[in-house]
Amino acid sequence: MTKRRVAILISGRGSNMTALIEAAKAKDFPADIVLVVSNIAGAAGLARASEAGIATATVESKPFGKDREAFERRLQDTLVSHNIEIVCLAGFLRLLTPWFVKQWDGRMINIHPALLPSYKGLHTHERALADGVKIHGATVHFVVPEMDSGPIIMQGAVAVRDDDTPDLLAARVLEIEHQIYPDSLRLVASGRTRIENGHCKTDAGSPDDALISPEII
Ligand code: GRF
């Protein structure tokens, strides 16, 4: 099996990154995590990646100021120099330009801590609690120019409890993020996803073709 070469882009602690790295250790996992890139120098996830024996790079966004594309060109050079085939955004706190998104059309995925299309943007857990919703969760989706949009690959659900706080809810959602992100990368890297009319479909009959994780935790 030829494994796809994957880069993970982070800005922070990298718990989803770690979940992907762990999953990719399995012999039958269709992807190799070959590079972790941070736009923030000293991001905690970089040390975790190095400990796991994965190449890391820092491409700081700050020096580029508002010139997002100049930053992205540097980032793109780094990805190309490592022959990256698939990009996973994992807590990468940077809006991407249409130019960069186009370079990775159908090959870049993101995890968002809400059941999209609800709660795009920041502070998703606070907003879900403020609305009194009973179900919340996380979504893995292909990246398109519009933020937190794009074909949904997989979603995982958690029940909202009466005594939840944003931190408690975030912790349960994070647990499910760590399940659906590796599962989604497995689907994408093995070529079992396709986009039809803006929706992500999987090949029928594959063992993990369920796009929705109905587990309520
Ligand atoms: C996660 O909640 C993810 O859904 C969001 O940013 C957070 C990153 O956490 N995009 P971590 O760095 O993976 O621990």
Could you give the CA distance from residue 72 to residue 100 in angstroms, rounded to a whole number? 7
- Given the CA of residue 14, which atom of ligand 1 is nearest to it? 12
Ligand 1 atom 8 nearest Cα: 91
Ligand 1 atom 12 nearest Cα: 14
Farthest-apart Cα atoms in the chain, separation? 50
- 23, 29 Cβ separation under 8 angstroms: yes
Could you give the CA distance from residue 95 to residue 146 in angstroms, rounded to a whole number? 9
* Residue 204 pLDDT exceeds 70: no
Q: What angle (nearest 5°) sits at the alpha carbon of residue 108, between those of residues 102 and 112? A: 120
Q: Please, which pLDDT band fits residue 207 given cuts at 50, 70 and 90? A: very low
* Residue 205 pLDDT exceeds 90: no
* Residue ranges covered by each domain of the chain: 1-104, 112-204
Ligand 1 atom 5 nearest Cα: 91
- 144, 101 Cβ separation under 8 angstroms: yes
112 is catalytic: yes
Phi, psi (rounded to 5 degrees) for 85 = -110, -30
CATH 3.40.50.170 fits 1-104, yes or no: yes
Q: What's the CA-to-centroid distance between 205 and ligand 1, angstroms?
A: 31
Q: Please, which pLDDT band fits residue 203 given cuts at 50, 70 and 90? A: confident
* CA 137 and chain centroid, separation: 14
- 152, 211 Cβ separation under 8 angstroms: yes
For 128-142, write each residue's pLDDT tens digit.
Answer: 999 999 999 999 999
Question: On the CB side of 2, how many CA atoms lie within 13 Å of its CA?
Answer: 4
Could you give the CA distance from residue 157 to residue 172 in angstroms, rounded to a whole number? 10
Q: What's the CA-to-centroid distance between 2 and ligand 1, angstroms?
A: 28
Show the ligand 1 pocket: residues with CB < 6 angstroms: 12-17, 90-91, 111-113, 138, 174, 177
Q: What's the CA-to-centroid distance between 14 and ligand 1, angstroms?
A: 7
Q: pTM for this one?
A: 0.95
Which residue out of 112, 136, 141, 178 is catalytically annotated?
A: 112
* Residue 210 pLDDT exceeds 90: no
The single residue listed with the structure tokens 């997989």 is 154
Q: Please, which pLDDT band fits residue 217 given cuts at 50, 70 and 90? A: low
pLDDT at 55: 98
Query: Which residues neighbour 3 within 8 Å (Cβ) at sequence distance 6 or greater?
Result: 29, 30, 31, 32, 189
Could you give the CA distance from residue 142 to residue 149 in angstroms, rounded to a whole number? 8
Please identify, in words, the CATH class of the domain defined by 112-204.
alpha beta
Asked if the domains at 1-104 and 112-204 fall in one CATH topology, the answer is yes
